[in-house]
Structure 1
């Protein structure tokens, strides 16, 4: 009996030494106080400090690689539990084909329990000192001389100072977990071009401009700037939907002329357009502003609070996490902050998931997915982004094969901080993406963008976007006859655009320049310049939508017969080139979109086969605007309820559900599932931010 007990005891001790693999998989642990020489199996270090969690996620990744070389991973896969703390990364965390999981053995990197875990692509700055250099003090604004602090970045190991304005190369300063402002003038808003004087004059759409970046200014402020070594300007130089950064080449104080460095902005420059100056030490004159001297490596900063009361970080890494040819890997509950470029990238692979992560304080894009199948971004909070929020790209347009990527239940706001136009909260490229249940707000330009086919945008709420731009759309697509089969349904767009219209206003859904074959169904457009704009395209359906308090509810035009006829006279061949780039004469294109086979012979400049049916329009200045001699029956207009009380439950509280006795039901209007629009709670998203009413009355 004693021998049997000894045998059992030996078996038990041997089992303790085996990897902790069960039907639920293997757990590894990473902690700030861990050690990469340990096994990573225990969640905490043991009493004699001989074993415990790893110290780095790279070590956990390498342990999984080692286990895979020994044989298959345990059923249920591997979960890497990352414990509370800030993990300052020295390099991008890279996952490659060696790190892939399978459907039976997935791999997860996640915050342990409810721990707050941040993977940081920046370095903490702890060596601020008062400015004492007389030459620097002389250049500073008098009010700033006792307020500005200096830190030598070389002392903390930062020697790549990049470029002041280029995403991926621009270092930024973050303080109190928010991005600070690169020293600029004016501190808020814009100044304006006086008169363009470059000498290369042109006229487009009745507006005169100059192709050369040379213009006059008013006042004497530029006297401060003549000694700035790398002065930059950011402006909407010709159109209010296209911004750009220019470098100043020279300032003529006598003639009051600023000249920029070529290449010039592609659309040129125009009298009265908006711009501001940045990257100027002489303009570091208010709390929260900073400047980096790239010759000395010294950072100057006027902190908005005691510089010892909160941490300051400078972004260093371009990318924090890179996943390439990886499958069945999940990142869950992690914070990713302080990168210069695209923070999290996924290339190829299948079935990866970014779940419940927080991505913020980023100079470039938050999440970029390119290629592969069925990748998901779900339940994430994304804010303070320099460029785009989420980009989904995949599928095969030649065969119309969908990729199945999704962006669902994400809260995205305060994006497009640095690049101010055509940087979406979510954009899709290719075939077959789904964008649903996202809450998007507070941005200078668009919220949702589309290129390709068979994408679905549904149940999203969008407000307070296009705040700085004109001729813009919260949802935007354009200039491609072949981008068909897309569905925009059950979204709530409200309170869009700047307080005053610049020229063309903001659209809720902008089907620009011959966008065709799109279904716009069951959306609500409230308080904006225009609800839906169909710009010259055909085969579009605008059905079962609600339009309230817009200047125009719906516009359909045949711009190819008017101001944009140069797309059809051989001057601009973009539409033809994009049509010929796809195999539209062969299946599946010829069977899915047979109308493309006869497009050239069917008056292509005329906006045919559009339908505007069974919509509700109330309290708009004009319900329907048809331009370029369009009229019914070229556009089908049927069963719309216009300027008749539809009997909403409570429009003042944005409750646009219809009462049972609404006259819209007799028109064939179908219920909109309002209860499904926007964010929802689940195992990943535990809470929903309070809904804001929107901007002040416009």
Structure 2
């Protein structure tokens, strides 16, 4: 029997027996033992079963262990939907990982013999570096440096040859002071700057050097190809388009895509003209898997409903690994999404989709993005991102690539562990989200004036509850300061309740917003734990002026009919905002918080008249059970209890054991 007919033959046999159970199919690499050879074959068999009226109990596709190579994503559409009573499930092997592999395994490295190439390498590096022609393994699409092919060795991302090997160099000064200035900070619109070190003098023979830097602000990056290096003036000029914010003295950058800087284990370089990859392996090539990323995506569900995908590993793609758009009740359970060039999981539109129990790491961009619900009608989507472990992400796109993004209306982000990232952990916007019981630490490692949880610039994105989260060890790049919960530029109406902040700079931050509540939180050793300002009365008035002008012309704010149902009913504080001192931080409440440490209060004087503050415990021992052992429960005699402080469910924060998890959390 030919391979394409085997699954269909099985279906016909099952139909003849009057099957009343779910249709069960198997996918094995090679399609042995009557199994489907590909996911597409299984999908198409299910489609045929539906046409034959033989899918009343749904279907289960068991994906056996091994590498299922993907050149293109596995696609499911409306046609592949189940029902609540008869769902469709794609389930990976419980004993051996079933991997949807979008990359290519690289084998066959040889020593370098080209003398011209050897001369460009440091003498001490030459004997360590090997090469391979990627064309020989079917890889010919390389992309650009920093937005294309990536190399992994033993599941670890390797470094495109760079200088310095770690960290950054600093701009000595900009070349052209052209009058560019932002709030008193001077710089230049022109991407031309001086360097100090001698090292760039040796890059003039490089064919395609790039630089990557935080050129003006500590939270905004950009990658540039280098246009020119002037060794006499010691200046580097980058190619346009220039960075939107400009360039200034003292900001940091590094150079990369430099063959002459391939001088350390783990570095690599690709000659994109001929496809030859040069690599200094950090370990034994013979016993370690080497992979390059290739496929644009690995799994897409467009309009599908009542479909579950669980216990798969998705690895080696260049773009977003998993995309879910529209549809309803798609469940992504226990996936491992790792070692890719783009984001892990995007959910857009639809309702009641869940991403639960997934392990996400080694991604070039963000972790999970969930966006659903209708803001104009305040219709909730009910999406969930629960019990996921997300770490070492944003390794290529360094900023605004959060562990979790949540937008739209009425979504849940709970019990996730997020850590080790250059910028934010959770970014949120929209309305009425619940962000609770998450553990966040060691983020904003490469940025300052950034937020572990961040939202900004909208009066109408209201109703968020941020409760029972633990945030710790968040102090910014070189300890210059980042924020725990950052409500930036007039973001309003969030409730920050029952969270534990430890060693977080400016732990709770209200940037000129209104109607926010900071209640029942514990702040421990947080420098300037509480920040509230009135920026719309000063330097940030332009944002408010824009919203007020829109309101006068269109009777909306940010496109929202703010003073008519459903907004007027859901958020009565919005109804009279235009007539109630709109630029002032009106309606903020700070109550029943525990502050342990010095200099906790950073409420600006022009904001103080608008803040209601009561029953906060400061300068007094709160009587923790065992602070030395990080047991921050309160003893019965705690003075905070007399002020009405309610216990925080510390034991429920973070990951929890579940059969839906890709791996169980350690004790």
Q: Same fold per TM (> 0.5)?
A: yes
Give the TM-score, by structure 2 length.
0.95
- Structure 2 Cα separation of the partners of residues 139 and 394 of structure 1: 52
Show the counterpart of 2:341: 363
Q: Structure 1's 117 and 462: CA in aligned 2 closer, same or farther, altered over 3 A?
A: same
Residues 306-385 of structure 1: matches in 2 within 5 Å?
306-385=284-363
- Structure 2 Cα separation of the partners of residues 32 and 584 of structure 1: 56
Would you say the 8 A contact 1:560–1:567 is kept in 2?
Answer: yes
Q: How far has the Cα of 1:499 moved from its partner?
A: 6.8
1:27 aligns with 2:24: yes
Show the counterpart of 1:643: 619
- Structure 2 Cα separation of the partners of residues 24 and 374 of structure 1: 26
Show the counterpart of 1:581: 559
Show the counterpart of 1:631: 608
Show the counterpart of 1:518: 494
Q: Structure 1's 631 and 406: CA in aligned 2 closer, same or farther, altered over 3 A?
A: same
- Structure 1 Cα separation of the partners of residues 248 and 548 of structure 2: 23
Q: Structure 1's 511 and 580: CA in aligned 2 closer, same or farther, altered over 3 A?
A: closer
Would you say the 8 A contact 1:566–1:572 is kept in 2?
Answer: no
- Structure 2 Cα separation of the partners of residues 475 and 210 of structure 1: 31
Would you say the 8 A contact 1:468–1:497 is kept in 2?
Answer: no
Structure 2 residue ranges without an equivalent (≥5): 1-9
1:246 aligns with 2:211: no
1:660 aligns with 2:636: yes
Q: How far has the Cα of 1:579 moved from its partner?
A: 1.7
- Structure 2 Cα separation of the partners of residues 160 and 647 of structure 1: 61
Q: Counterpart of 1:550 in 2: which secondary structure?
A: coil
Which stretch of the first structure deviates more once superposed, 64-73 or 427-436?
64-73
Show the counterpart of 2:63: 82
Residues 452-601 of structure 1: matches in 2 within 5 Å?
452-498=430-476, 500-502=478-480, 505-568=481-544, 579-601=557-579
1:256 aligns with 2:256: no
Q: Counterpart of 1:351 in 2: which secondary structure?
A: strand
- Structure 2 Cα separation of the partners of residues 499 and 219 of structure 1: 22
Q: Structure 1's 185 and 386: CA in aligned 2 closer, same or farther, altered over 3 A?
A: same
Show the counterpart of 1:62: 44
- Structure 2 Cα separation of the partners of residues 322 and 457 of structure 1: 26
1:602 to 575, 580, 596: 580
Q: How far has the Cα of 1:574 moved from its partner?
A: 9.4
Q: Counterpart of 2:462 in 1: which secondary structure?
A: coil
Q: Structure 1's 570 and 426: CA in aligned 2 closer, same or farther, altered over 3 A?
A: closer
**For each residue in 1:21-41, what CA deviation from the matched residue of structure 2 results, as whole angstroms up to 9, or x when unmatched?**
755412111112425xxxxxx
Q: Counterpart of 2:117 in 1: which secondary structure?
A: helix
Would you say the 8 A contact 1:427–1:449 is kept in 2?
Answer: yes
1:622 aligns with 2:599: yes
Q: Counterpart of 1:457 in 2: which secondary structure?
A: strand
Q: How far has the Cα of 1:199 moved from its partner?
A: 4.5
Would you say the 8 A contact 1:481–1:575 is kept in 2?
Answer: no
Show the counterpart of 1:6: none
**For each residue in 1:27-61, what CA deviation from the matched residue of structure 2 results, as whole angstroms up to 9, or x when unmatched?**
111112425xxxxxxxxx2xxxxxx2122111111
2:110 to 129, 133, 154: 129
Q: Counterpart of 2:600 in 1: which secondary structure?
A: strand
Q: Structure 1's 210 and 173: CA in aligned 2 closer, same or farther, altered over 3 A?
A: same
- Structure 2 Cα separation of the partners of residues 22 and 497 of structure 1: 61
Which stretch of the first structure deviates more once superposed, 262-271 or 552-561?
552-561
Would you say the 8 A contact 2:547–2:557 is kept in 1?
Answer: no
Show the counterpart of 1:613: 591
- Structure 2 Cα separation of the partners of residues 222 and 299 of structure 1: 23
Show the counterpart of 1:40: none
Q: Counterpart of 2:528 in 1: which secondary structure?
A: strand
**For each residue in 1:449-483, what CA deviation from the matched residue of structure 2 results, as whole angstroms up to 9, or x when unmatched?**
10100011000000011111100111110111111
Residues 144-183 of structure 1: matches in 2 within 5 Å?
144-166=125-147, 170-183=148-161
Q: How far has the Cα of 1:599 moved from its partner?
A: 1.5
**For each residue in 1:467-518, what CA deviation from the matched residue of structure 2 results, as whole angstroms up to 9, or x when unmatched?**
111001111101111110010000000111247433xx11111111101111
Show the counterpart of 1:411: 389
- Structure 2 Cα separation of the partners of residues 273 and 363 of structure 1: 26
Q: How far has the Cα of 1:327 moved from its partner?
A: 0.7
1:296 aligns with 2:270: no
Q: Structure 1's 474 and 19: CA in aligned 2 closer, same or farther, altered over 3 A?
A: farther
Show the counterpart of 2:4: none
- Structure 2 Cα separation of the partners of residues 497 and 20 of structure 1: 65
Q: How far has the Cα of 1:16 moved from its partner?
A: 6.4
Q: Structure 1's 29 and 261: CA in aligned 2 closer, same or farther, altered over 3 A?
A: same
Which stretch of the first structure deviates more once superposed, 142-151 or 557-566?
557-566
**For each residue in 1:138-178, what CA deviation from the matched residue of structure 2 results, as whole angstroms up to 9, or x when unmatched?**
11222221111111111111111111123xxx110111111
- Structure 1 Cα separation of the partners of residues 72 and 219 of structure 2: 37
Q: Counterpart of 1:452 in 2: which secondary structure?
A: coil
**For each residue in 1:529-558, what CA deviation from the matched residue of structure 2 results, as whole angstroms up to 9, or x when unmatched?**
111011100100000100010111211111
2:245 to 256, 262, 267: 267
Would you say the 8 A contact 1:215–1:258 is kept in 2?
Answer: yes
Q: Structure 1's 499 and 210: CA in aligned 2 closer, same or farther, altered over 3 A?
A: closer
- Structure 1 Cα separation of the partners of residues 17 and 181 of structure 2: 73
Which stretch of the first structure deviates more once superposed, 95-104 or 589-598?
589-598
Would you say the 8 A contact 1:192–1:273 is kept in 2?
Answer: yes
Would you say the 8 A contact 1:100–1:329 is kept in 2?
Answer: yes
- Structure 1 Cα separation of the partners of residues 365 and 329 of structure 2: 25
Would you say the 8 A contact 2:334–2:662 is kept in 1?
Answer: no
Would you say the 8 A contact 2:504–2:529 is kept in 1?
Answer: no
Would you say the 8 A contact 2:418–2:439 is kept in 1?
Answer: yes
Show the counterpart of 2:96: 115
Would you say the 8 A contact 1:210–1:269 is kept in 2?
Answer: yes
Q: Structure 1's 571 and 98: CA in aligned 2 closer, same or farther, altered over 3 A?
A: closer
**For each residue in 1:185-224, what CA deviation from the matched residue of structure 2 results, as whole angstroms up to 9, or x when unmatched?**
0000000111101343311122110011001111221122
Q: How far has the Cα of 1:565 moved from its partner?
A: 3.2
RMSD of aligned residue pairs (Cα, Å)? 2.0
Structure 1 residue ranges without an equivalent (≥5): 1-12, 36-44, 46-51, 692-698
- Structure 2 Cα separation of the partners of residues 342 and 492 of structure 1: 29
- Structure 1 Cα separation of the partners of residues 297 and 515 of structure 2: 42
Show the counterpart of 1:91: 72
- Structure 1 Cα separation of the partners of residues 220 and 548 of structure 2: 20
- Structure 2 Cα separation of the partners of residues 553 and 574 of structure 1: 35
Show the counterpart of 2:5: none
Q: How far has the Cα of 1:585 moved from its partner?
A: 2.8
1:425 to 403, 407, 422: 403
- Structure 1 Cα separation of the partners of residues 365 and 296 of structure 2: 13
Instruction: Work out the number of aligned pairs and report it.
Output: 656
Would you say the 8 A contact 1:546–1:615 is kept in 2?
Answer: yes
